[in-house]
Amino acid sequence: MTLQTKAETVLRPTGEKPIRIGTRGSILALAQAAELRARLMAVHDLSEDCFSIDVISTAGDRIQDRALNELGGKGLFTEEIEERLLSGELDMAVHSSKDMPTVLPEGLELSTILPREDPTDAFLSHKANRLEDLPQGAVVGSASLRRQAMIKRQRPDLQLVNLRGNVDTRIRKLADGDVDATLLATAGLNRTGLSEHITTRLSTETFLPAVGQGAVCVEVCIRNSDVKDFLAPIHHHESGLCLWAERAFLRELDGSCRTPIAAFATIEDDIMSFRGIVLSTDGQTSFETARGLKAPDDSSAAALGREAGQSIRKEAGETFLKDIIHNQHVLETR
């Protein structure tokens, strides 16, 4: 099952004993799993039958009639997959990074990040070319508290409705006239070959993306060093550094789906630039931070994110953050 190469021991799967990749069953999740498989095939010179893509239904996929924050948060898209990782039924799991809770189950870690795709939000509409151009009172569908708050910040006149479902499902609901517009991750549309539906891409300067948006991560058992060695050649270092900073920021502030939080890190010429924001649910109050870091590594990138979160927590105050969660809970129980 193993092959010694260049003083490293790596897995050498076969058709009889393939690497088992766990994933959700949406078209986006399957596209991400296929990308992971293709990268591993290329770097290890393996055939497709050396990999098994195991589709696992999660609670987040099965329950579509309620907002994610009502159901318990991001873990609804990962729990069943993580149970199989821990039991040894899977070797690795592939996820959209923005779906990942900031605290993982004991024994699991994110070992590998694929090169980040376009991190922007995409505006989709048959009624206007831009969010700013929608008619007064137009209906916009989104299940994301971050997107809802940032839309209200720019256009408080718009009507916001919960719109959940996979990428193709939400595009169909838009086409059916259920809403006048919606926002989706540009990366997801690109990965699923649906980018022709994009009306406009929203600039990260004015519409900060979700933590990890556009980045695909691979989750493994910490104890499985052979699996981590097998994945190591495809890890994209810069995308990983940016993700560690963004996730540290999110964890410092809340980490659930009950608070509108956005963050975005980039690296250029070995300098990390980071921006983060926390908004009230109506978008009318916000606290922002921006900072930079020269020659980041895993530790310093995460420290930057924590410090950015701490600065906002200090500026906003504990009452502000608690009130956001309380107000959201009141809305959910009405």
- What is the average pLDDT across 71-99? 87
Burial code of 179-204, b = ≥16 C-beta within 10 A, e = fewer? bbbbbbbbbbbbbbebeebbbbebeb
Q: What's the one-letter identity of residue 70?
A: E
Percentage of the chain with pLDDT > 70?
Answer: 88
Name the catalytic one among 99, 121, 180, 254: 99
Task: Report the C-alpha gap between 170 and 176 in whole angstroms.
Answer: 10
What is the spatial distance between Cα 42 and Cα 17, in angstroms, rounded to a whole number?
19
C-alpha radius of gyration, the chain, whole number: 20
Domains for the chain: give ranges and CATH numbers.
1-115+215-235 (3.40.190.10), 121-201 (3.40.190.10), 237-334 (3.30.160.40)
Q: Measured between alpha carbons, how far apart are the two ends of the chain, in Å?
A: 56
Residue 10: the pLDDT is 67
pLDDT tens sequence across 43-56: 999 999 999 999 99
pLDDT higher than threshold 90 for residue 186: yes
Measure the CA angle with vertex 198, ends 218 and 93; round to 5°. Answer: 10
**pLDDT of residue 71 exceeding 80:** no
Show the CA angle centred on residue 274, arms to residues 270 and 276, nearest 5°: 170
Give catalytic status of residue 178 as yes or no: no
| Region for 230 from its dihedrals, namely left if φ exceeds 0, alpha if ψ lies in -120 to 50, beta otherwise | alpha
Considering the entire predicted model, what is its pTM? 0.90
Type of residue numbered 309: G
Tally Cβ neighbours within 10 Å of residue 227.
Answer: 21
Pick from 72-76, 156-160, 180-184: least confident = 72-76
The three state secondary structure string of the chain is: CEEEECCEEEECCCCCCCEEEEECCCHHHHHHHHHHHHHHHHHHCCCHHHEEEEECCCHHHHCCCCCHHHHCCHHHHCHHHHHHHHHCCCCEEEEEHHHCCCCCCCCEEEEEECCCCCCCEEEEECCCCCHHHCCCCCEEECCCHHHHHHHHHHCCCCEEECCCCCHHHHHHHHHCCCCCEEEEEHHHHHHCCCHHHCCEECCCCCCCCCCCCCCEEEEEECCCHHHHHHHHHHCCHHHHHHHHHHHHHHHHHCCCCCCCEEEEEEEECCEEEEEEEEECCCCCCEEEEEEEEECCCHHHHHHHHHHHHHHHHHHHCHHHHHHHHHHHHHHHHC
Q: For position 318, what pLDDT does the model report?
A: 85
Q: What is d(CA 23, CA 90) in angstroms, rounded to the nearest whole number?
A: 10
User: Above 90 in pLDDT, residue 321?
Assistant: no
**Cα–Cα distance measured from residue 42 to residue 244, given in angstroms and rounded to the nearest whole number:** 26
Query: Quick one: pLDDT band at residue 4, thresholds 50, 70, 90?
Result: very low
Q: Check residue 9 and give its pLDDT.
A: 47
Evaluate if residue 116 carries a pLDDT over 80: yes
pLDDT of residue 70: 54
Per-residue confidence band for 122, with pLDDT thresholds at 50, 70 and 90: very high
